[in-house]
Amino acid sequence: MTTSEYIKFLVIAAGYPKNINVEISKYGIDTMYSVYAETANYKETDDYDIDTHDENSEGVLELSDIPSLLDLILEIMDHRSKSYNIRTLNHLSIKTILDDNTREDYIKEDIERYDNLMKELVLMKPVDELITSMNPCKKAPNCNGNFDDSDTCHGFWKCTHQYHNNCTLLQDFRNYTLQLRNVYRKYIHNEKLTDEEVNKLKKYNLI
């Protein structure tokens, strides 16, 4: 790995995986290091230069004419960003991570997946709240669970310590609500529903 690649890798690890530019300049016996990079979510809104020393310029790493590699490493560490979970790159090879096009395409797709997941969580909130309210464990120990009361361990204690909150009543509930949740997911994504699925959602005023 070259020094330039090593610096790029550090910059990515610090949370700046986009538009990375590393410059190493030699002036006689002196070497100067400059770095520019952006966070995965950074978008420049104006066409003028960003002042990276301004508090409102988060998302940009710009280090100019750093006199030593050690100083550069310390500066990069001091400017670490947590705007994107860079650990999602863990399963990629170093070669892939250092490839600008591959890395940035992966991060773009990863952000899109995350955004879609967040949107779906919001849309799924009605059915998730319904399922939480229906949980039979909320009524324990009067949940009508089919417990074996052949010993002195019974009621809520038996539920939590012998069945570990996993009795047949709860298993049936999980299977049923998983189906309900899948139907509702089809609904929010505008997929075609059967009459049975429509009636299931209507039963709980979900449509």
Angle formed at CA 201 by CA 168 and CA 179, multiple of 5 degrees = 35
116, 119, 125, 131: CA torsion to nearest 10? 0
Is residue 164 a contact partner of residue 111, using CB atoms and an 8 Å limit? no
pTM for the structure as a whole: 0.69
Give the start-to-end residue ranges of the domains of the chain. Answer: 3-99, 124-203
Each of the 207 residues of the chain gets a pLDDT tens digit; together they read 899 999 999 999 999 999 999 999 998 889 999 999 999 989 876 544 444 444 335 799 999 999 999 999 999 999 999 888 998 999 999 999 999 999 999 999 999 999 999 999 999 999 999 999 998 877 766 777 665 555 444 455 566 555 556 678 888 999 999 999 999 999 999 999 999 999 999 999 998
